[in-house]
C-alpha cells in the first residue's frame, strides 16, 4: 500500500463508524479545527501565525515579531489588557460556520477538550 493510500485508509472502518455513533467519546480539538468558521467581519478564525501577524499590526508592535505568540500576548496584555481582550473576543466569536461541523451533532460526545478560544463548540 502506498503512503498516500495508507493515510486515507481507516483500518476496521465499519467498527470505527459504529463506535462513533454508539459510544460516548471524548473530543479533542486543537489549532485549525475552527478554520471553517467566520466572525461577524466575515474573516476566518486564525491559527497561530496569522494571529501573531494580526496582533503585531493591530497593536503596532512590529518590534515584537521575534517573539513567539504567547510572549507577544503577554506583552500586549500588560499594556493594553482591555483592548487586547476585546480584540480577541471580536476576532474569535463565531458568527457563521461550515455546515460540515453539524456532523458532530450525530456523535455522543462525553467531553469536549479544546485549546481554542473561540465559541464554535457552543454554536
Domain borders along the chain are 10-37+98-116, 46-93
CA distances from 79 to 13, 72, 116 (A): 52, 11, 23
The cell for 45 is 478564525
Q: Is the pTM of this model over 0.85?
A: no
Contact status, residue 91 vs residue 30, Cβ threshold 8 Å: no
The cell for 28 is 479533542
What pLDDT digit, counting tens, does each position of 44-86 carry? 999 999 999 999 999 999 999 999 999 999 999 999 999 999 9
Amino acid at each position: 500500500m502506498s503512503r498516500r493510500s495508507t493515510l486515507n485508509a481507516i483500518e476496521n472502518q465499519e467498527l470505527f463508524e459504529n463506535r462513533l455513533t454508539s459510544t460516548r467519546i471524548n473530543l479533542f480539538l486543537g489549532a485549525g479545527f475552527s478554520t471553517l468558521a467566520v466572525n461577524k467581519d466575515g474573516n476566518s478564525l486564525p491559527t497561530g501565525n496569522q494571529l501573531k501577524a494580526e496582533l503585531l499590526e493591530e497593536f503596532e508592535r512590529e518590534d515584537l515579531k521575534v517573539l513567539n505568540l504567547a510572549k507577544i500576548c503577554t506583552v500586549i496584555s500588560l499594556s493594553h489588557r482591555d483592548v487586547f481582550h476585546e480584540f480577541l473576543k471580536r476576532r474569535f466569536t463565531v458568527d457563521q460556520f461550515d455546515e460540515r461541523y453539524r456532523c458532530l451533532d450525530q456523535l455522543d460526545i462525553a467531553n469536549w477538550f479544546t485549546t481554542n478560544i473561540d465559541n464554535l463548540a457552543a454554536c
